[in-house]
């Protein structure tokens, strides 16, 4: 097991190297000059050229890359062109809302999708099954921001139960935090619920036809025990895999959801950085997201062993 | 059932929030008057000299003060200055500061601070650069008095020091103002009516300002950006909210108090809500601009530029971008209708197109049919529809147009390129200005015509520069006005650029908010929350 983890951790290095090169090159090759953005609307070409020189953007691309990689290896993510802060500080300041959104979304998504997926499989062909499958199609098809606006209209504007937007840090006011997390997490979890419930249904259906399920029933076990202990546990591996892959959806969705609900997280930071061509911030945030994605999937791989003893690393 | 649910949920939530909220923030904040303000954009840069961003300019007005400021009628009045004198030959200006001016750290504001602040501002601002061409030296007479000695009379000394919009000559402590103008400042210490709370402020989330208890407002009533800056709330929070639909939702739900400028298409939604009122805080409004690249064909040819201007029809632009006539004005004056320098363009130019004349000019100029590259910004909603209108009007005049869509940041990068359009350059694009930035020939950067030192498009016209210089030197207002008209006429004669419509965007506030001043900048003093 330890060998496996070490090998997987080592494998992160080439992945991150490729991501770093791609991000760096894409930013340099796409149009947009941070110096022109910084200089503002009244700036002359000379002023823009001066700012470019001060930011080091006139150096050859490979020189800029070597400097950046060198700094990164020393744990220095650089300084934002715009915020007058180090990128590490910016990320530290913005990580809480994104983390909170991700955790709440996962709780909502797994808490809702796995039970309804199992029930849909158990009652295959029933009205419940059709409703769950119908929901999963709609959940996939409707963009997150539309769901967000609909939820806001109903629960914040018409009913007035929840705030429209904003974020309160968990340490400042726990209830305020919870109130402001409900709608964004629900919005982001809809697509996730659709995905996981569909996979759960398919996996459980497959398992329900296995001999050992028939044996369990023949032993006189209750439906609940058969479903939860025997069927779901054996169907867990594909479900976990989808949850791991879904982290990418979560990261992408956070960008939109945070903008819609005014959450000051990493998703919004990414949008702001891209729009203003804040190269150091974009590079660091994308690298960080890559690390998170790889590490979460490593954890998912490790967790397979908990559900399926045949899996050995 | 629904009502019961709502009451129950509301009661639980309100109780919980009240209990935890009061416990966590303390009774002082619970009782204080907090004004929640949403601007048009995120405040990321806190140095109003380093950037021209309007959100940063607004931040500047919170924490800094100015030597002079323009009132509601655009008349420049002393602000930090108590009295000023000008020598008989109009080359020595003496300024004495008011008593009791203090920086937020408690140290007094001195003439040395002001001199250094003017120097830093003048290194970055177009009007400041022009001003410095006339400045021979600054003299610090004593702690409260300083002089500006000019090489020759300059007609815009007070207009420069009282410039209302980006970049505003804000006064900063000398040590801060000594920062390289091309580097951002580190300190947020000013002498203005609000004190910035760095520890509480989180870029991307909110910025917090407390009332400056030591600020001594002028005795005159507040008017525009001038007069007594009396703060009537305890605290202002700029809430960062990028989504305009959410800004409107939050205003309707009562989560914010003041909204700088909702988009025109959402104004009807706000109008329907009785708890919200619209405020025309910026009566001068804004102006759309069309800018030609003088360096590359075909717009390096005066006749072809004129053919393009002949095709312009302001109302088409205004209908396509703003929609409601209530919020726009057809105005052929370069220096904004409703101001002293407003003059109509001759022969219906910019208002009534003459496509036949435009076609004849194109033929005369030998236009070869090469498509002109028109850059369209798709990320600034108010600009998005300008380019399609231009494409249609130019095509009606006989041009071939290649409209290329891009985000605003790409456009501002590409507009710096002087290469031919086929090599990544451009021929024409649109922008807009706050009217307060374009009230005279010196402040209006589009009027500069000295080649490489001009704004993008790089027009070269020595005659225009002579007229602008003459305007700058003129100290007689009547003669100055005549020169402003001559500048406008010259810009039209050479088709230097086009001004294609004036528009307005009201702000929104909750009904319990009053005292929002009419000014080119949304300022938070004088505002009351009941």
Task: Dump pLDDT digits (tens) for B369-402.
Answer: 999 999 999 988 889 999 999 999 999 999 999 9
Q: Number of CB pairs < 8 Å for A and B?
A: 153
Contact criterion met (CB < 8 Å) for A157 and B252? yes
Contact residues, chain B, for A31 at CB < 8 Å:
406, 410, 413-414
Angle at A185 between CA B242 and CA A204, to 5 degrees: 145
pLDDT at B3: 42
Task: Choose the weakest-confidence range: A50-64, A273-287, B277-291, B432-446.
Answer: A50-64
Q: Strands, E, within B271-409: which ranges?
A: 276-279, 286-292, 328-329, 372-377, 401-406
Nearest partner of B126 among B497, B439, B448, judged by Cα:
B448
Distance from CA of A61 to the nearest CA of B (A): 18
3-class SS of residue B264 = helix
Give chain B positions within 8 Å (CB) of A159: 2, 6
**pLDDT for the residue B368:** 94
Task: Work out the angle at residue B439's Cα, subtended by the Cα atoms of residues B505 and B409, and round it to the nearest 5 degrees.
Answer: 60
Do the strands B34-38 and B235-239 form a parallel or antiparallel pair, or are they unpaired? parallel
- The pLDDT, as a whole number, for residue B2 is 41
On the question of pLDDT at B11 being above 50, the answer is no
Lowest mean pLDDT among A37-46, A203-212, B75-84, B255-264: A37-46
Q: Is B312 left (phi over 0), alpha (psi -120 to 50) or beta?
A: beta
Rounded Cα gap, residues B38 and B240, in angstroms: 6
Helix ranges restricted to H, B408-523: 408-414, 462-473, 477-493
The yes-or-no verdict on residue B23 having pLDDT over 80 is no
- pLDDT at residue B507, rounded to an integer: 96
ipTM value greater than 0.90: no
CA distance A53 to A55: 5
The minimal CB distance from A173 to the residues B24, B125, B406 is found for B24
Query: Which residues in B144-259 belong to E strands, given as ranges?
Result: 145-150, 194-196, 206-211, 235-239, 258-259
Distance of CA B376 to CAs B301, B391, B412, Å? 22, 10, 11
pLDDT tier at B32, thresholds 50, 70, 90: low
The arithmetic mean of pLDDT across residues B200-219, rounded, is 94
DSSP B203: T
Please answer whether residues A180 and A96 qualify as being in contact, where contact means their C-beta atoms are separated by less than 8 angstroms. Answer: no
**Confidence at residue B17, expressed as pLDDT on a 0 to 100 scale:** 38
Residues of chain A neighbouring B124 (CB-CB closer than 8 A) = 47
Question: How confident is residue B27, by pLDDT bands cut at 50, 70 and 90?
Answer: very low
Query: Residues with Cβ < 8 Å from B141, sequence gap 6 or more?
Result: B94, B111, B147
pTM over 0.90: no
Distances, alpha carbon B152 to alpha carbons A177, B92, B442, B476, in Å? 63, 9, 17, 14
Distance linking the first and last C-alpha atoms of chain A: 5
Using one digit for the tens of pLDDT, what is the confidence trace for A75-113? 888 888 888 789 999 999 899 999 999 999 999 999 999
B83 pLDDT above the threshold of 70: yes
Orientation of helix B302-310 relative to helix B355-365, angle to 10°: 170
Three-state DSSP at B485 gives: helix
pLDDT of residue A272: 86
The overall longest dimension of chain A from CA atoms, in Å, is: 84
Mean pLDDT in residue range B98-122: 97
Q: What is the DSSP letter of B266?
A: G
**pLDDT single digits (tens) B461-515:** 999 999 999 999 998 989 999 999 999 999 999 999 999 999 999 999 999 999 9
pLDDT at B262 over 50: yes
Task: Give mean pLDDT, residues A175-186.
Answer: 94
pLDDT at res. B1: 39
With CB atoms and an 8 Å threshold, state whether B9 touches A94: no
- The reported pLDDT for the residue numbered B376 is 96
3-state secondary structure of B501: strand
B484 to chain A, closest Cα gap in Å: 20
Q: How confident is the model at residue A127 (pLDDT cuts 50, 70, 90)?
A: very high
Q: Higher-confidence residue: B292 or A286? A: B292
- Domains and their CATH numbers in chain B: 54-279+507-529 (3.40.190.10), 286-503 (3.10.105.10)
Angstroms from A8 CA to nearest CA on chain B: 36
> Could you report the per-residue pLDDT of A24-57, keeping only the tens digit for each?
888 888 777 888 877 766 677 777 888 888 888 8
How buried is residue B219: exposed, middle or buried, by Cβ count under 10 Å (0-12/13-18/19+)? Answer: exposed
How does residue B31 score in pLDDT terms, banded at 50, 70 and 90?
Answer: low
CA distance B479 to B46: 39
- Residue with the bigger pLDDT between B376 and A303: it is B376
Count of beta carbons in the 10 Å neighbourhood of residue B215: 20
Q: What is the mean pLDDT of chain B?
A: 91
The model's pLDDT over A7-25, given as tens digits with 9 standing for 90+, comes to 888 888 888 889 889 988 8
Question: A42–B52: do the CB atoms touch at under 8 Å?
Answer: yes
Buried residues in B89-124 as b, exposed as e (16+ CB within 10 A): eebebbbbbbeebebbeeeebbbebbbbbbbbbbeb
pLDDT score at B309: 97
Contacts of B33 (CB under 8 A, 6+ apart): B232, B233, B234, B235, B529
Q: Which of A51, A163, A166 sits opposite B182 (nearest CB)?
A: A51
- DSSP secondary structure letters along B50-96: T---HHHHHHHHHH--BSEEE-TTS-EEESSEEEEEE-TTS-EEEEE
The pLDDT tens digits of the residues spanning B115-159 come to 999 999 999 888 998 899 999 999 999 999 999 999 999 999 999
pLDDT band of B356, cuts 50, 70, 90 = very high
Name A151's Cβ contacts closer than 8 Å, sequence gap at least 6. Answer: A183, A186, A187
**Per-residue pLDDT tens over the stretch B158-186:** 999 999 998 899 999 999 999 998 888 99
Q: Please state, as a whole number, how many other Cβ atoms lie within 10 Å of the Cβ of residue B354.
A: 17
The reported pLDDT for the residue numbered B30 is 47
Q: Is the peptide bond before B167 cis (omega within 30 degrees of 0)?
A: yes
Please say whether the dihedral angle defined by the alpha carbons of residues B323, B328, B330 and B333, taken in this order, is positive or negative.
negative
pLDDT at A310 over 80: no
Pairwise CA distance, residues A247 & A244, whole Å: 6
CA nearest B141: which of B107, B179, B93, B99?
A: B93
Q: In the prediction, which pLDDT does A152 show?
A: 94
Which strands form B276-279's sheet, in the order they lie side by side?
B194-196, B206-211, B235-239, B34-38, B258-259, B507-510, B276-279
Among candidate residues B460, B530, B524, the one with its CA nearest the CA of residue B258: B524
Mean pLDDT of A148-157: 93
Subunit contact A32:B245, Cβ cutoff 8 A: no
Across the range A216-242, mean pLDDT stands at 86
Mutate to test the interface with B, among A30, A31, A49, A273 (most CBs of B within 10 A): A31
Residues of A within 8 A of B1 (CB-CB) are none
CA distances B90 to A240, B97, B130, B157, B160, Å, are 81, 20, 17, 10, 15
- SS3 for chain A, per residue? CHHHHHHHHHHHHHHHHHHHHHHHHHHHHCCCCHHHHHHCCCCCHHHHHHHHHHHCCCCCHHHHHHHHHHHHHCCCCCECCCCCCEHHHHHHHHHHHHHHHHHHHHHHHHHHHHHHHHHHHHCCCCHHHHHHHHHHHHHHHCCHHHHHHHHHHHHHHHCCCCCCCCCCCCCCCHHHHHHHHHHHHHHHHHHHHHHHHHHHHHHHHHHHCCHHHHHHHHCCCCHHHHHHHHHHHHHHHHHHHHHHHHHHHHHHHHHHHHHHHCCCCHHHHHHHHHHHCCHHHHHHHHHHHHHHHHHHHHHHHHHHHHHCCCCCC
Strands B428-434 and B372-377 turn out to be parallel
Which three-class secondary structure state does DSSP give residue B41? coil
Q: Which residues of B touch A85 (CB under 8 A)?
A: 203
Q: How far apart are CA B440 and CA A257, in angstroms?
A: 44
Q: In this predicted structure, what is the pLDDT of residue B259?
A: 97
A49: closest chain B residue by CA: B416
Burial class (CB in 10 A: 0-12, 13-18, 19+), B53: buried
The pLDDT of residue B13: 41
Domains of chain A: 16-73 (no CATH), 99-307 (1.10.3720.10)
Span B265-324, pLDDT tens digits? 999 999 999 999 999 999 999 999 999 999 999 999 999 999 999 999 999 999 999 999
Burial label, B446 (beta-carbon count in 10 A; 0-12, 13-18, 19+): buried
| Cβ neighbours around A4 below 10 Å, total | 14
């Amino acid at each position: 097991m330890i060998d496996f983890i070490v090998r997987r951790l080592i494998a992160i290095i080439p992945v991150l190297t490729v991501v770093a090169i791609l991000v760096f090159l894409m930013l340099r090759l796409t149009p947009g000059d941070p110096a022109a953005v910084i200089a503002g609307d009244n700036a002359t070409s000379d002023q823009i050229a001066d700012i470019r020189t001060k930011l080091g953007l006139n150096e050859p691309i490979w020189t800029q890359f070597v400097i950046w990689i060198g700094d990164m290896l020393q744990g220095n993510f650089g300084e934002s062109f715009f915020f007058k802060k180090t990128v590490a500080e910016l990320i530290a300041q913005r990580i809480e809302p994104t983390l909170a959104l991700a955790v709440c979304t996962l709780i909502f998504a797994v808490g809702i999708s796995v039970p309804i997926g199992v029930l849909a499989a158990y009652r295959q062909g029933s009205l419940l099954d059709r409703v769950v499958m119908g929901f999963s199609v709609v959940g996939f098809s409707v963009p997150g921001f539309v769901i967000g606006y609909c939820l806001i209209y109903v629960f914040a504007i018409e009913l007035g139960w929840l705030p429209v937007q904003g974020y309160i840090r968990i340490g400042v006011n726990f209830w305020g935090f919870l109130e402001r997390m409900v709608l964004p997490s629900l919005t982001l979890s809809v697509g996730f619920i659709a995905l996981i419930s569909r996979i759960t249904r398919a996996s459980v259906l497959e398992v329900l036809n296995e001999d050992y399920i028939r044996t369990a029933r023949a032993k006189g076990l209750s439906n609940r025990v058969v479903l939860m202990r025997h069927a779901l546990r054996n169907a867990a591996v594909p479900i976990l895999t989808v949850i791991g892959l879904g982290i990418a959806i979560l990261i992408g969705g956070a960008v939109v959801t945070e903008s819609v609900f005014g959450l000051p997280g990493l998703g919004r930071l990414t949008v702001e950085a891209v729009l203003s061509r804040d190269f150091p911030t974009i590079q660091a945030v994308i690298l960080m997201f890559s690390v998170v994605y790889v590490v979460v999937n490593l954890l998912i791989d490790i967790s397979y062993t908990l559900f399926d003893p045949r899996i050995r690393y | 059932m629904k009502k019961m649910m709502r009451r129950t949920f509301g009661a639980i939530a309100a109780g919980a929030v009240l209990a935890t909220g009061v416990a966590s923030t303390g009774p002082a904040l619970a009782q204080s008057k907090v004004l929640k303000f949403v601007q048009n954009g995120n405040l990321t840069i806190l140095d109003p000299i380093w950037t021209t961003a309007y959100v940063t300019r607004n931040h500047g007005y919170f924490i800094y003060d100015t030597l002079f400021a323009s009132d509601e009628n655009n008349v420049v009045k002393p602000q930090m200055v108590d009295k000023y004198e000008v020598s008989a030959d109009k080359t020595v200006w003496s300024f004495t500061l008011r008593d009791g001016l203090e920086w937020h750290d408690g140290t007094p504001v001195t003439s040395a601070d002001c001199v250094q602040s003017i120097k830093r501002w003048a290194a970055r601002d177009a009007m400041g650069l022009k001003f410095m061409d006339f400045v021979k030296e600054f003299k610090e007479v004593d702690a409260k008095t300083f002089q500006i000695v000019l090489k020759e009379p300059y007609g815009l000394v007070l207009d420069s020091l009282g410039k209302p919009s980006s970049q505003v000559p804000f006064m900063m402590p000398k040590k801060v103002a000594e920062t390289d103008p091309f580097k951002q400042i580190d300190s947020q210490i000013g002498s203005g009516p609000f004190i910035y709370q760095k520890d509480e402020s989180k870029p991307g989330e909110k910025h917090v300002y407390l009332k400056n208890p030591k600020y001594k407002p002028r005795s005159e009533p507040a008017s525009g950006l001038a007069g007594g800056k009396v703060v009537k709330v305890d605290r202002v929070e700029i809430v960062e909210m990028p989504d305009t639909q959410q800004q409107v939702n939050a205003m309707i739900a009562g989560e914010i108090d003041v909204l700088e400028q909702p988009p025109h298409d959402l104004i009807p939604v706000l109008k329907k809500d009785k708890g919200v009122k619209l405020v025309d805080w910026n009566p001068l409004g804004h102006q759309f601009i069309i800018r030609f690249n003088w360096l590359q064909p075909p717009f390096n040819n005066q006749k072809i530029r004129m053919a393009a201007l002949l095709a312009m029809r302001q109302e088409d632009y205004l209908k396509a971008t703003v929609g409601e006539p209530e919020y726009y004005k057809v105005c052929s004056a370069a220096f904004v209708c409703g101001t002293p320098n407003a003059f109509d363009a001759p022969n219906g130019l910019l208002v009534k197109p003459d496509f036949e004349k435009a076609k004849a000019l194109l033929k005369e100029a030998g236009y070869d049919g090469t498509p002109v590259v028109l850059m369209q910004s798709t990320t600034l909603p108010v600009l998005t529809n300008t380019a399609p209108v231009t494409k249609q009007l130019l095509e009606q005049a006989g041009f071939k147009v290649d409209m290329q869509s891009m985000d605003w940041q790409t456009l501002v990068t590409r507009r710096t390129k002087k290469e031919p359009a086929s090599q990544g350059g451009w021929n024409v694009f649109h922008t807009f200005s706050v009217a307060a930035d374009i009230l005279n020939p010196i402040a209006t950067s589009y009027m500069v015509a000295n080649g490489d030192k001009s704004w993008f498009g790089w027009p070269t016209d020595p005659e225009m520069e002579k007229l602008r210089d003459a305007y700058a030197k003129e100290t007689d207002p009547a003669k100055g006005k005549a020169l402003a008209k001559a500048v406008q006429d010259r810009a039209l004669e050479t088709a230097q650029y086009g001004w294609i419509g004036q528009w307005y965007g009201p702000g929104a506030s909750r009904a319990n908010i009053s005292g929002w001043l009419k000014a080119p900048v949304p300022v938070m003093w004088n505002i009351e929350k009941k």
